[in-house]
A and B are shown apart, each in its own frame.
Chain A
Amino acid sequence: MSEALIEATGLEKTYPARNRQGTPFRAVAGVAFRVHRGEAFGFLGPNGAGKSSTMRMLAGVSAPTAGTLRILGLDPVADGRRVRARLGVVPQDDSLDTQLTVEENLLVYGLYFGLSRRAVRTKAGELLAFARLEDKAGERVENLSGGMRRRLTIARALINDPEILLLDEPTTGLDPQARHVLWERLFRLKQDGVTLILTTHYMDEAEQLCDRLVVMDKGLIADGGSPRELIERHVTREVLELRFPPGEHEKIGRELGEQVEVLPDRLLWYADDGEQALARATELGIRPLTALVRRAGLEDVFLRLTGRSLTD
Protein backbone atom coordinates (compact mmCIF):
# COMPACT_ATOMS: atom_id res chain seq x y z
CA MET A 1 0.00 0.00 0.00
CA SER A 2 1.24 3.49 -0.78
CA GLU A 3 2.38 6.03 1.77
CA ALA A 4 -0.18 7.29 4.32
CA LEU A 5 -0.48 11.07 3.90
CA ILE A 6 -2.90 11.44 6.75
CA GLU A 7 -3.07 9.27 9.79
CA ALA A 8 -5.50 9.80 12.66
CA THR A 9 -5.94 7.67 15.73
CA GLY A 10 -8.32 8.25 18.60
CA LEU A 11 -8.93 11.75 17.33
CA GLU A 12 -11.22 13.84 19.52
CA LYS A 13 -12.52 17.37 19.54
CA THR A 14 -14.31 18.80 22.54
CA TYR A 15 -15.50 22.38 22.38
CA PRO A 16 -15.37 24.24 25.67
CA ALA A 17 -18.61 25.38 27.26
CA ARG A 18 -19.77 28.73 25.97
CA ASN A 19 -20.52 30.03 29.44
CA ARG A 20 -20.58 28.89 33.04
CA GLN A 21 -23.95 27.14 32.80
CA GLY A 22 -23.02 25.35 29.58
CA THR A 23 -21.32 22.00 29.25
CA PRO A 24 -18.38 21.17 26.99
CA PHE A 25 -19.45 19.53 23.75
CA ARG A 26 -17.68 16.56 22.22
CA ALA A 27 -18.14 16.95 18.47
CA VAL A 28 -15.60 14.29 17.48
CA ALA A 29 -15.47 11.39 19.88
CA GLY A 30 -12.47 9.32 18.85
CA VAL A 31 -12.04 8.54 15.17
CA ALA A 32 -9.27 6.72 13.34
CA PHE A 33 -8.56 6.73 9.62
CA ARG A 34 -5.72 6.74 7.12
CA VAL A 35 -5.61 8.41 3.75
CA HIS A 36 -3.09 7.46 1.11
CA ARG A 37 -1.50 9.59 -1.55
CA GLY A 38 -3.67 10.05 -4.61
CA GLU A 39 -6.81 8.79 -2.93
CA ALA A 40 -10.19 10.46 -2.79
CA PHE A 41 -11.50 10.01 0.72
CA GLY A 42 -14.97 10.99 1.88
CA PHE A 43 -16.73 11.79 5.12
CA LEU A 44 -20.42 11.10 4.96
CA GLY A 45 -22.72 12.01 7.78
CA PRO A 46 -25.85 13.85 8.87
CA ASN A 47 -25.82 17.45 10.12
CA GLY A 48 -23.79 17.81 13.27
CA ALA A 49 -21.95 14.50 12.82
CA GLY A 50 -18.59 16.20 13.27
CA LYS A 51 -17.44 16.32 9.66
CA SER A 52 -16.47 19.98 9.60
CA SER A 53 -14.86 19.68 13.03
CA THR A 54 -12.69 16.88 11.66
CA MET A 55 -11.87 18.87 8.53
CA ARG A 56 -10.78 21.85 10.60
CA MET A 57 -8.41 19.67 12.56
CA LEU A 58 -7.03 18.37 9.27
CA ALA A 59 -6.52 21.95 8.12
CA GLY A 60 -4.48 22.59 11.24
CA VAL A 61 -6.68 25.41 12.53
CA SER A 62 -8.30 23.47 15.33
CA ALA A 63 -6.20 21.57 17.82
CA PRO A 64 -7.35 18.03 18.60
CA THR A 65 -8.42 17.59 22.22
CA ALA A 66 -7.09 14.03 22.26
CA GLY A 67 -5.59 11.45 19.94
CA THR A 68 -2.89 11.81 17.34
CA LEU A 69 -2.98 13.30 13.89
CA ARG A 70 -0.15 13.30 11.36
CA ILE A 71 -0.41 15.03 8.03
CA LEU A 72 2.35 14.68 5.46
CA GLY A 73 4.35 13.16 8.28
CA LEU A 74 4.03 16.35 10.33
CA ASP A 75 2.05 17.52 13.33
CA PRO A 76 -0.60 19.90 11.96
CA VAL A 77 -0.52 22.06 15.09
CA ALA A 78 3.20 22.24 15.84
CA ASP A 79 4.17 22.37 12.15
CA GLY A 80 1.01 24.19 11.15
CA ARG A 81 2.54 26.56 8.67
CA ARG A 82 4.55 23.93 6.86
CA VAL A 83 1.50 21.69 6.61
CA ARG A 84 -0.80 24.49 5.47
CA ALA A 85 1.64 25.53 2.78
CA ARG A 86 0.94 22.19 1.13
CA LEU A 87 -2.82 22.07 1.69
CA GLY A 88 -5.75 23.56 -0.14
CA VAL A 89 -8.81 24.30 1.97
CA VAL A 90 -12.37 24.80 0.80
CA PRO A 91 -14.40 25.66 3.91
CA GLN A 92 -18.08 24.89 4.23
CA ASP A 93 -18.98 28.58 4.24
CA ASP A 94 -17.57 30.64 1.42
CA SER A 95 -15.17 33.18 2.83
CA LEU A 96 -14.02 35.12 -0.18
CA ASP A 97 -12.53 38.57 0.18
CA THR A 98 -15.51 40.75 -0.61
CA GLN A 99 -13.37 43.85 -0.93
CA LEU A 100 -11.46 42.41 -3.86
CA THR A 101 -12.37 41.36 -7.39
CA VAL A 102 -12.51 37.76 -8.56
CA GLU A 103 -9.01 37.81 -9.99
CA GLU A 104 -7.57 39.75 -7.05
CA ASN A 105 -8.97 37.10 -4.72
CA LEU A 106 -6.70 34.59 -6.42
CA LEU A 107 -3.70 36.91 -6.64
CA VAL A 108 -3.75 38.08 -3.04
CA TYR A 109 -4.42 34.60 -1.71
CA GLY A 110 -1.35 33.38 -3.58
CA LEU A 111 0.77 35.99 -1.87
CA TYR A 112 -0.24 34.57 1.51
CA PHE A 113 1.60 31.41 0.47
CA GLY A 114 4.77 33.35 -0.21
CA LEU A 115 4.43 32.91 -3.96
CA SER A 116 6.01 35.51 -6.20
CA ARG A 117 3.74 37.92 -8.03
CA ARG A 118 4.80 36.47 -11.37
CA ALA A 119 4.01 32.92 -10.34
CA VAL A 120 0.71 34.02 -8.89
CA ARG A 121 -0.34 35.87 -12.06
CA THR A 122 0.24 32.85 -14.26
CA LYS A 123 -1.51 30.54 -11.83
CA ALA A 124 -4.47 32.89 -11.39
CA GLY A 125 -5.02 32.90 -15.14
CA GLU A 126 -5.07 29.10 -15.23
CA LEU A 127 -7.44 28.90 -12.30
CA LEU A 128 -9.88 31.42 -13.75
CA ALA A 129 -10.14 29.11 -16.75
CA PHE A 130 -10.41 26.08 -14.47
CA ALA A 131 -13.36 27.69 -12.66
CA ARG A 132 -14.80 29.05 -15.92
CA LEU A 133 -14.75 32.57 -14.52
CA GLU A 134 -12.57 34.25 -17.14
CA ASP A 135 -15.22 36.74 -18.10
CA LYS A 136 -15.85 37.58 -14.45
CA ALA A 137 -12.20 38.32 -13.62
CA GLY A 138 -12.80 42.00 -12.87
CA GLU A 139 -16.13 41.53 -11.11
CA ARG A 140 -16.64 42.13 -7.40
CA VAL A 141 -17.28 38.92 -5.48
CA GLU A 142 -20.68 40.23 -4.29
CA ASN A 143 -21.89 40.20 -7.87
CA LEU A 144 -21.24 36.48 -8.36
CA SER A 145 -23.92 33.83 -8.07
CA GLY A 146 -23.62 31.30 -5.25
CA GLY A 147 -22.31 28.62 -7.58
CA MET A 148 -19.70 30.95 -9.06
CA ARG A 149 -18.52 31.84 -5.57
CA ARG A 150 -18.15 28.18 -4.78
CA ARG A 151 -16.10 27.65 -7.92
CA LEU A 152 -13.93 30.60 -7.05
CA THR A 153 -13.41 29.28 -3.52
CA ILE A 154 -12.24 25.98 -4.96
CA ALA A 155 -10.01 27.69 -7.50
CA ARG A 156 -8.51 29.79 -4.71
CA ALA A 157 -7.68 26.66 -2.72
CA LEU A 158 -5.60 25.45 -5.67
CA ILE A 159 -3.39 28.53 -5.93
CA ASN A 160 -0.48 26.83 -4.15
CA ASP A 161 -0.70 23.55 -6.11
CA PRO A 162 -1.67 21.67 -2.95
CA GLU A 163 -0.83 18.02 -2.42
CA ILE A 164 -3.98 17.58 -0.39
CA LEU A 165 -7.26 19.34 -1.08
CA LEU A 166 -9.80 19.53 1.75
CA LEU A 167 -13.32 20.13 0.48
CA ASP A 168 -16.10 20.67 3.01
CA GLU A 169 -19.33 20.14 1.07
CA PRO A 170 -17.87 21.33 -2.21
CA THR A 171 -21.04 21.17 -4.29
CA THR A 172 -23.73 22.23 -1.84
CA GLY A 173 -25.76 24.93 -3.54
CA LEU A 174 -24.60 24.16 -7.05
CA ASP A 175 -26.98 23.35 -9.87
CA PRO A 176 -26.71 19.81 -11.34
CA GLN A 177 -24.73 20.96 -14.33
CA ALA A 178 -22.23 22.88 -12.23
CA ARG A 179 -21.85 19.85 -9.97
CA HIS A 180 -20.99 17.62 -12.90
CA VAL A 181 -18.45 20.12 -14.15
CA LEU A 182 -16.92 20.28 -10.71
CA TRP A 183 -16.78 16.51 -10.38
CA GLU A 184 -14.95 16.37 -13.66
CA ARG A 185 -12.47 18.98 -12.40
CA LEU A 186 -11.95 17.12 -9.16
CA PHE A 187 -11.47 13.91 -11.05
CA ARG A 188 -8.82 15.61 -13.14
CA LEU A 189 -7.04 16.82 -10.02
CA LYS A 190 -7.08 13.29 -8.70
CA GLN A 191 -5.55 12.06 -11.95
CA ASP A 192 -2.81 14.62 -11.41
CA GLY A 193 -2.07 12.99 -8.07
CA VAL A 194 -3.81 15.41 -5.73
CA THR A 195 -5.24 13.70 -2.65
CA LEU A 196 -8.86 14.71 -2.12
CA ILE A 197 -10.65 14.73 1.21
CA LEU A 198 -14.26 15.71 1.05
CA THR A 199 -17.42 15.78 3.07
CA THR A 200 -20.76 15.54 1.39
CA HIS A 201 -24.44 14.93 1.86
CA TYR A 202 -24.82 13.65 -1.67
CA MET A 203 -24.67 9.92 -2.20
CA ASP A 204 -24.07 10.20 -5.90
CA GLU A 205 -21.16 12.52 -5.21
CA ALA A 206 -19.66 10.06 -2.75
CA GLU A 207 -20.12 7.18 -5.18
CA GLN A 208 -18.68 9.14 -8.07
CA LEU A 209 -15.69 10.65 -6.38
CA CYS A 210 -14.63 8.62 -3.37
CA ASP A 211 -12.35 5.64 -3.50
CA ARG A 212 -13.05 5.13 0.17
CA LEU A 213 -15.34 6.79 2.64
CA VAL A 214 -16.37 6.68 6.24
CA VAL A 215 -19.85 7.20 7.58
CA MET A 216 -19.80 9.49 10.60
CA ASP A 217 -22.55 9.87 13.15
CA LYS A 218 -22.51 11.66 16.51
CA GLY A 219 -18.77 12.16 16.38
CA LEU A 220 -17.93 8.55 15.64
CA ILE A 221 -17.14 6.54 12.55
CA ALA A 222 -19.88 3.99 12.07
CA ASP A 223 -18.03 2.15 9.31
CA GLY A 224 -15.74 2.72 6.38
CA GLY A 225 -14.62 1.22 3.10
CA SER A 226 -15.14 1.59 -0.61
CA PRO A 227 -18.72 2.37 -1.65
CA ARG A 228 -19.06 -1.17 -3.03
CA GLU A 229 -17.70 -2.79 0.13
CA LEU A 230 -20.06 -0.80 2.29
CA ILE A 231 -23.05 -1.73 0.18
CA GLU A 232 -22.12 -5.41 0.26
CA ARG A 233 -21.54 -5.37 3.99
CA HIS A 234 -24.64 -3.55 5.13
CA VAL A 235 -27.45 -3.96 2.71
CA THR A 236 -29.03 -6.54 0.47
CA ARG A 237 -28.86 -6.42 -3.28
CA GLU A 238 -32.27 -4.84 -3.75
CA VAL A 239 -34.72 -2.63 -1.92
CA LEU A 240 -38.48 -2.60 -2.10
CA GLU A 241 -39.92 0.85 -1.41
CA LEU A 242 -43.50 0.93 -0.18
CA ARG A 243 -45.68 4.00 0.29
CA PHE A 244 -48.93 4.14 2.23
CA PRO A 245 -51.55 6.74 3.10
CA PRO A 246 -50.29 8.99 5.94
CA GLY A 247 -50.11 7.38 9.37
CA GLU A 248 -50.36 3.75 8.32
CA HIS A 249 -46.85 2.76 7.43
CA GLU A 250 -45.23 2.86 10.86
CA LYS A 251 -47.40 0.14 12.33
CA ILE A 252 -46.99 -2.09 9.29
CA GLY A 253 -43.25 -1.48 9.35
CA ARG A 254 -42.92 -2.54 12.94
CA GLU A 255 -44.81 -5.75 12.27
CA LEU A 256 -42.53 -6.70 9.41
CA GLY A 257 -39.43 -6.64 11.65
CA GLU A 258 -35.68 -6.33 11.13
CA GLN A 259 -35.32 -6.24 7.37
CA VAL A 260 -37.63 -3.24 7.10
CA GLU A 261 -36.53 0.35 7.71
CA VAL A 262 -39.24 2.85 8.62
CA LEU A 263 -38.75 6.30 7.11
CA PRO A 264 -40.96 9.30 7.77
CA ASP A 265 -42.66 8.88 4.41
CA ARG A 266 -42.20 5.23 3.37
CA LEU A 267 -40.95 1.74 4.19
CA LEU A 268 -37.76 0.24 2.81
CA TRP A 269 -37.73 -3.52 2.64
CA TYR A 270 -34.26 -4.94 2.12
CA ALA A 271 -34.21 -8.18 0.12
CA ASP A 272 -31.95 -9.92 -2.33
CA ASP A 273 -34.94 -10.28 -4.59
CA GLY A 274 -37.27 -7.31 -4.45
CA GLU A 275 -40.02 -8.87 -6.54
CA GLN A 276 -40.14 -11.83 -4.17
CA ALA A 277 -40.49 -9.45 -1.22
CA LEU A 278 -43.36 -7.71 -2.97
CA ALA A 279 -45.10 -11.04 -3.55
CA ARG A 280 -44.63 -11.83 0.14
CA ALA A 281 -46.14 -8.45 1.09
CA THR A 282 -49.18 -9.15 -1.06
CA GLU A 283 -49.51 -12.55 0.64
CA LEU A 284 -49.51 -10.84 4.02
CA GLY A 285 -52.37 -8.66 2.86
CA ILE A 286 -50.35 -5.45 2.71
CA ARG A 287 -51.80 -2.99 0.21
CA PRO A 288 -49.34 -0.15 -0.45
CA LEU A 289 -50.26 2.86 -2.56
CA THR A 290 -47.11 2.41 -4.58
CA ALA A 291 -44.36 -0.21 -4.66
CA LEU A 292 -40.96 0.16 -6.29
CA VAL A 293 -38.05 -2.26 -6.55
CA ARG A 294 -34.57 -0.80 -7.01
CA ARG A 295 -30.92 -1.67 -6.46
CA ALA A 296 -29.56 -0.86 -3.01
CA GLY A 297 -27.10 2.04 -2.81
CA LEU A 298 -25.02 4.09 -0.47
CA GLU A 299 -28.08 5.92 0.80
CA ASP A 300 -29.33 2.62 2.19
CA VAL A 301 -25.99 1.96 3.86
CA PHE A 302 -26.26 5.33 5.44
CA LEU A 303 -29.77 4.61 6.68
CA ARG A 304 -28.76 1.29 8.12
CA LEU A 305 -25.78 2.76 9.91
CA THR A 306 -27.28 5.94 11.27
CA GLY A 307 -30.99 5.20 11.25
CA ARG A 308 -31.49 8.47 9.49
CA SER A 309 -31.86 9.61 5.94
CA LEU A 310 -29.25 12.07 4.77
CA THR A 311 -31.77 14.67 3.79
CA ASP A 312 -33.08 15.03 7.35
Chain B
Amino acid sequence: MIPTLPRAGGAHLVVLRNLWVHKGGSPWTMALFSIFEPILYLLAIGVGIGGLVGDVPGVEVPYAVYVAPALLATAMMNSALEETGQSAYAKLAFDRFYHSLIVTPVTVTGAVTGEVLWGMLRALITGTGFLAVIAAFGLVQSPWILLAVPAGLLIGFAFGAASLTFTGYVRGWHDYQYMQLIMLPMFLFATTFYPVTVYPEPVQLLVEALPLYHAIELVRGLALGRLGPSLLLNAAYLIVFGTLFLTWARRRWGRLLTS
Protein backbone atom coordinates (compact mmCIF):
# COMPACT_ATOMS: atom_id res chain seq x y z
CA MET B 1 0.00 0.00 0.00
CA ILE B 2 1.51 3.30 -1.04
CA PRO B 3 -0.50 6.19 0.40
CA THR B 4 -0.57 9.45 -1.48
CA LEU B 5 2.10 11.79 -0.23
CA PRO B 6 0.83 14.67 1.90
CA ARG B 7 0.71 17.91 -0.05
CA ALA B 8 2.77 21.02 0.61
CA GLY B 9 5.48 19.00 2.29
CA GLY B 10 3.04 18.17 5.07
CA ALA B 11 2.93 21.71 6.53
CA HIS B 12 -0.74 21.29 7.49
CA LEU B 13 0.14 18.10 9.37
CA VAL B 14 2.55 20.02 11.57
CA VAL B 15 -0.26 22.45 12.36
CA LEU B 16 -2.57 19.53 13.03
CA ARG B 17 -0.05 17.98 15.39
CA ASN B 18 0.27 21.23 17.33
CA LEU B 19 -3.50 21.54 17.55
CA TRP B 20 -3.66 17.97 18.76
CA VAL B 21 -1.22 18.74 21.56
CA HIS B 22 -3.43 21.63 22.64
CA LYS B 23 -6.74 19.87 22.32
CA GLY B 24 -9.02 19.89 25.31
CA GLY B 25 -9.44 23.63 25.42
CA SER B 26 -5.94 24.78 26.04
CA PRO B 27 -5.82 27.12 22.99
CA TRP B 28 -8.34 29.24 24.87
CA THR B 29 -6.32 29.08 28.04
CA MET B 30 -3.32 30.15 26.00
CA ALA B 31 -5.30 33.00 24.50
CA LEU B 32 -6.22 34.15 27.99
CA PHE B 33 -2.58 34.18 29.03
CA SER B 34 -1.59 35.95 25.83
CA ILE B 35 -4.06 38.79 26.35
CA PHE B 36 -3.36 39.17 30.05
CA GLU B 37 -0.25 41.29 29.53
CA PRO B 38 -1.70 43.63 26.87
CA ILE B 39 -4.76 44.13 29.06
CA LEU B 40 -2.48 45.37 31.83
CA TYR B 41 -0.80 47.78 29.41
CA LEU B 42 -4.14 48.94 28.15
CA LEU B 43 -5.31 49.65 31.69
CA ALA B 44 -2.13 51.21 33.03
CA ILE B 45 -1.08 53.23 30.03
CA GLY B 46 -4.10 53.47 27.72
CA VAL B 47 -6.67 54.23 30.38
CA GLY B 48 -4.45 55.43 33.23
CA ILE B 49 -1.98 57.71 31.51
CA GLY B 50 -4.57 58.31 28.81
CA GLY B 51 -6.60 60.15 31.42
CA LEU B 52 -3.83 62.73 31.62
CA VAL B 53 -3.16 62.86 27.91
CA GLY B 54 -6.63 63.33 26.52
CA ASP B 55 -6.72 63.20 22.72
CA VAL B 56 -3.63 62.35 20.69
CA PRO B 57 -2.58 65.44 18.74
CA GLY B 58 -2.65 64.96 14.99
CA VAL B 59 -4.79 61.84 15.28
CA GLU B 60 -7.60 63.34 17.32
CA VAL B 61 -8.76 60.19 19.10
CA PRO B 62 -8.74 59.42 22.83
CA TYR B 63 -5.38 58.06 23.95
CA ALA B 64 -6.68 54.57 24.89
CA VAL B 65 -8.24 54.23 21.43
CA TYR B 66 -4.87 55.12 19.95
CA VAL B 67 -2.85 52.64 22.04
CA ALA B 68 -5.24 49.67 21.87
CA PRO B 69 -4.52 48.71 18.21
CA ALA B 70 -0.78 48.81 18.86
CA LEU B 71 -1.26 46.45 21.77
CA LEU B 72 -3.36 44.23 19.52
CA ALA B 73 -0.53 44.13 16.98
CA THR B 74 2.15 43.35 19.58
CA ALA B 75 0.00 40.71 21.27
CA MET B 76 -0.38 38.92 17.95
CA MET B 77 3.33 39.29 17.31
CA ASN B 78 4.21 37.85 20.71
CA SER B 79 2.01 34.80 20.21
CA ALA B 80 3.78 33.96 16.98
CA LEU B 81 7.16 34.56 18.63
CA GLU B 82 6.37 32.19 21.46
CA GLU B 83 5.56 29.28 19.17
CA THR B 84 8.43 29.78 16.76
CA GLY B 85 10.92 30.76 19.45
CA GLN B 86 11.46 28.85 22.65
CA SER B 87 8.72 26.36 21.98
CA ALA B 88 10.25 25.34 18.64
CA TYR B 89 13.69 25.31 20.22
CA ALA B 90 12.60 22.81 22.87
CA LYS B 91 11.18 20.57 20.18
CA LEU B 92 14.34 20.87 18.12
CA ALA B 93 17.00 20.45 20.77
CA PHE B 94 15.43 18.29 23.44
CA ASP B 95 12.68 16.24 21.81
CA ARG B 96 14.46 15.85 18.48
CA PHE B 97 10.94 16.25 17.15
CA TYR B 98 11.94 17.64 13.77
CA HIS B 99 14.57 14.93 13.30
CA SER B 100 11.89 12.30 13.58
CA LEU B 101 9.55 14.33 11.43
CA ILE B 102 11.80 14.52 8.39
CA VAL B 103 12.26 10.77 8.09
CA THR B 104 8.58 10.73 7.13
CA PRO B 105 7.24 12.25 3.88
CA VAL B 106 7.06 15.59 5.70
CA THR B 107 9.89 17.75 4.36
CA VAL B 108 12.05 20.38 6.03
CA THR B 109 10.11 23.01 4.11
CA GLY B 110 6.89 21.43 5.34
CA ALA B 111 8.09 21.50 8.92
CA VAL B 112 9.27 25.12 8.75
CA THR B 113 6.17 26.34 6.92
CA GLY B 114 3.95 24.40 9.31
CA GLU B 115 5.48 26.03 12.37
CA VAL B 116 5.10 29.50 10.85
CA LEU B 117 1.48 28.72 10.00
CA TRP B 118 0.92 27.53 13.53
CA GLY B 119 2.40 30.76 14.86
CA MET B 120 -0.05 32.64 12.64
CA LEU B 121 -2.93 30.58 13.97
CA ARG B 122 -1.88 31.34 17.53
CA ALA B 123 -1.72 35.03 16.61
CA LEU B 124 -5.22 34.78 15.22
CA ILE B 125 -6.57 33.28 18.43
CA THR B 126 -4.85 35.91 20.55
CA GLY B 127 -5.98 38.69 18.23
CA THR B 128 -9.59 37.58 18.40
CA GLY B 129 -9.44 37.50 22.18
CA PHE B 130 -7.89 40.93 22.47
CA LEU B 131 -10.29 42.42 19.96
CA ALA B 132 -13.09 41.33 22.27
CA VAL B 133 -11.32 43.12 25.12
CA ILE B 134 -11.03 46.31 23.07
CA ALA B 135 -14.73 46.12 22.31
CA ALA B 136 -15.54 45.50 25.97
CA PHE B 137 -13.54 48.62 26.93
CA GLY B 138 -15.64 50.56 24.42
CA LEU B 139 -12.61 51.53 22.37
CA VAL B 140 -13.96 50.63 18.93
CA GLN B 141 -14.01 53.55 16.47
CA SER B 142 -14.69 51.96 13.16
CA PRO B 143 -16.13 48.68 11.81
CA TRP B 144 -12.90 48.29 9.85
CA ILE B 145 -11.32 47.04 13.09
CA LEU B 146 -12.81 43.66 12.21
CA LEU B 147 -10.20 43.44 9.47
CA ALA B 148 -7.38 44.26 11.88
CA VAL B 149 -7.20 40.70 13.17
CA PRO B 150 -6.98 39.00 9.76
CA ALA B 151 -4.43 41.63 8.76
CA GLY B 152 -2.55 40.65 11.89
CA LEU B 153 -1.92 37.28 10.27
CA LEU B 154 0.75 39.08 8.28
CA ILE B 155 2.34 40.08 11.57
CA GLY B 156 2.32 36.45 12.66
CA PHE B 157 3.87 35.51 9.33
CA ALA B 158 6.63 38.12 9.39
CA PHE B 159 7.66 37.66 13.01
CA GLY B 160 7.08 33.89 13.04
CA ALA B 161 9.42 33.41 10.06
CA ALA B 162 12.07 35.69 11.56
CA SER B 163 11.96 34.05 14.94
CA LEU B 164 12.10 30.53 13.47
CA THR B 165 15.22 31.62 11.59
CA PHE B 166 16.69 32.88 14.84
CA THR B 167 15.82 29.59 16.57
CA GLY B 168 17.84 27.83 13.88
CA TYR B 169 20.97 29.56 15.20
CA VAL B 170 20.27 29.36 18.91
CA ARG B 171 22.93 27.55 20.97
CA GLY B 172 21.07 27.56 24.27
CA TRP B 173 18.20 29.16 26.15
CA HIS B 174 20.33 32.18 27.06
CA ASP B 175 20.47 33.21 23.40
CA TYR B 176 16.84 34.23 23.62
CA GLN B 177 18.01 37.13 25.77
CA TYR B 178 19.53 38.61 22.62
CA MET B 179 16.14 38.41 21.00
CA GLN B 180 14.68 40.24 23.98
CA LEU B 181 17.37 42.86 23.50
CA ILE B 182 15.82 43.69 20.14
CA MET B 183 12.18 43.07 20.91
CA LEU B 184 11.78 45.17 24.04
CA PRO B 185 13.11 48.47 22.63
CA MET B 186 11.16 47.85 19.45
CA PHE B 187 8.00 47.36 21.49
CA LEU B 188 8.59 50.56 23.43
CA PHE B 189 9.67 52.85 20.60
CA ALA B 190 8.00 51.64 17.39
CA THR B 191 5.03 54.03 17.82
CA THR B 192 3.21 51.79 20.28
CA PHE B 193 2.56 54.65 22.66
CA TYR B 194 2.95 57.82 20.56
CA PRO B 195 3.13 58.87 16.91
CA VAL B 196 6.39 58.73 15.00
CA THR B 197 6.25 62.55 14.60
CA VAL B 198 7.57 63.05 18.14
CA TYR B 199 11.01 61.94 16.94
CA PRO B 200 13.50 64.11 15.05
CA GLU B 201 13.71 63.29 11.35
CA PRO B 202 16.66 60.82 11.35
CA VAL B 203 15.12 58.81 14.20
CA GLN B 204 11.81 58.78 12.34
CA LEU B 205 13.51 57.10 9.40
CA LEU B 206 15.02 54.52 11.71
CA VAL B 207 11.70 53.73 13.37
CA GLU B 208 9.97 53.52 10.00
CA ALA B 209 12.41 50.81 8.98
CA LEU B 210 11.31 48.51 11.82
CA PRO B 211 8.88 45.68 11.09
CA LEU B 212 6.84 46.39 14.20
CA TYR B 213 6.26 49.95 12.99
CA HIS B 214 4.57 48.59 9.86
CA ALA B 215 2.66 46.01 11.89
CA ILE B 216 1.28 48.74 14.15
CA GLU B 217 0.55 51.16 11.30
CA LEU B 218 -1.44 48.49 9.50
CA VAL B 219 -3.51 47.42 12.48
CA ARG B 220 -4.00 50.98 13.74
CA GLY B 221 -5.04 52.25 10.33
CA LEU B 222 -7.75 49.61 10.10
CA ALA B 223 -8.84 49.95 13.71
CA LEU B 224 -9.29 53.71 13.42
CA GLY B 225 -10.81 53.40 9.95
CA ARG B 226 -8.07 55.61 8.50
CA LEU B 227 -7.67 53.77 5.24
CA GLY B 228 -5.21 54.74 2.56
CA PRO B 229 -2.70 53.32 0.13
CA SER B 230 0.00 53.45 2.81
CA LEU B 231 -1.68 50.46 4.47
CA LEU B 232 -0.89 48.41 1.37
CA LEU B 233 2.71 49.46 1.74
CA ASN B 234 2.75 48.31 5.37
CA ALA B 235 1.25 44.98 4.35
CA ALA B 236 3.75 44.62 1.51
CA TYR B 237 6.61 45.27 3.93
CA LEU B 238 5.42 42.47 6.21
CA ILE B 239 4.94 40.06 3.31
CA VAL B 240 8.40 40.70 1.89
CA PHE B 241 10.01 40.58 5.34
CA GLY B 242 8.29 37.28 6.13
CA THR B 243 9.07 35.75 2.76
CA LEU B 244 12.76 36.58 3.03
CA PHE B 245 12.98 35.07 6.49
CA LEU B 246 10.95 32.03 5.51
CA THR B 247 13.46 31.31 2.76
CA TRP B 248 16.32 31.83 5.17
CA ALA B 249 14.67 29.60 7.79
CA ARG B 250 14.18 26.83 5.26
CA ARG B 251 17.83 26.89 4.29
CA ARG B 252 19.08 27.09 7.84
CA TRP B 253 16.82 24.33 9.13
CA GLY B 254 17.70 22.21 6.12
CA ARG B 255 21.32 22.45 7.10
CA LEU B 256 20.50 21.73 10.76
CA LEU B 257 18.34 18.71 10.15
CA THR B 258 19.98 17.10 7.14
CA SER B 259 23.70 17.60 7.71
The reply to whether chain A is a binding partner of chain B is: yes
Question: Across the interface, do A112 and B20 meet the contact criterion of CB distance under 8 Å?
Answer: no
Least CB separation from A93: chain B residue: B96
Least CB separation from A159: chain B residue: B104
8 Å CB interface, A72-109 against B: 80-82, 84-87, 89, 91, 93, 95-100, 104, 108-109
8 Å CB interface, A214-248 against B: none
B107 contact from A81, A97, A104, A160, Cβ within 8 A: A81
* Set of chain A residues within 8 Å of B105, measured between Cβ atoms: 81-82, 84-85, 112-114
* Set of chain A residues within 8 Å of B207, measured between Cβ atoms: none
* Given contacts A62-B259, A111-B13, A97 and B97 within 8 Å (CB-CB): yes
Question: Across the interface, do B258 and A112 meet the contact criterion of CB distance under 8 Å?
Answer: no
Question: Across the interface, do A114 and B5 meet the contact criterion of CB distance under 8 Å?
Answer: yes
Q: Closest approach, in angstroms, between the C-beta of B150 and any C-beta of chain A?
A: 28
B39, CB-defined interface residue at 8 Å: no
Question: Across the interface, do B6 and A112 meet the contact criterion of CB distance under 8 Å?
Answer: yes
B29, CB-defined interface residue at 8 Å: no
* Set of chain A residues within 8 Å of B107, measured between Cβ atoms: 80-81
Question: Across the interface, do A112 and B2 meet the contact criterion of CB distance under 8 Å?
Answer: no
* Set of chain A residues within 8 Å of B21, measured between Cβ atoms: 99-100
What per-residue 1/0 map shows which CB atoms of A47-88 lie under 8 Å from chain B?
Answer: 000000000000111110000000000000000111011110
Question: Across the interface, do B3 and A95 meet the contact criterion of CB distance under 8 Å?
Answer: no
* Set of chain B residues within 8 Å of A93, measured between Cβ atoms: 96
Question: Across the interface, do B6 and A63 meet the contact criterion of CB distance under 8 Å?
Answer: no
CA of A62 to CA of B257, assembled, Å: 8
A85 contact from B2, B17, B95, B99, Cβ within 8 A: B2
Q: Closest approach, in angstroms, between the C-beta of A287 and any C-beta of chain B?
A: 53
Q: Closest approach, in angstroms, between the C-beta of B253 and any C-beta of chain A?
A: 12
B97 contact from A82, A95, A104, Cβ within 8 A: A95
Q: Closest approach, in angstroms, between the C-beta of B97 and any C-beta of chain A?
A: 6
CA of A111 to CA of B110, assembled, Å: 14
A161, CB-defined interface residue at 8 Å: yes
* Set of chain B residues within 8 Å of A104, measured between Cβ atoms: 20
> Could you list some 27 contacts between A and B, CB below 8 A?
A15-B259, A62-B258, A63-B258, A81-B105, A82-B5, A82-B105, A84-B103, A85-B2, A85-B105, A89-B103, A91-B96, A91-B99, A95-B95, A95-B99, A95-B100, A96-B95, A96-B100, A97-B95, A97-B97, A97-B100, A100-B20, A100-B21, A113-B3, A113-B105, A114-B10, A115-B3, A119-B3
Chain A residues within 8 Å of B, Cβ to Cβ: 15-16, 59-63, 80-82, 84-87, 89, 91, 93, 95-100, 104, 108-109, 111-115, 119, 160-161
State the 9 A-B residue pairs at the shortest beta-carbon distance, nearest first. A95-B96, A112-B104, A95-B100, A89-B103, A114-B6, A114-B3, A99-B21, A81-B105, A85-B105
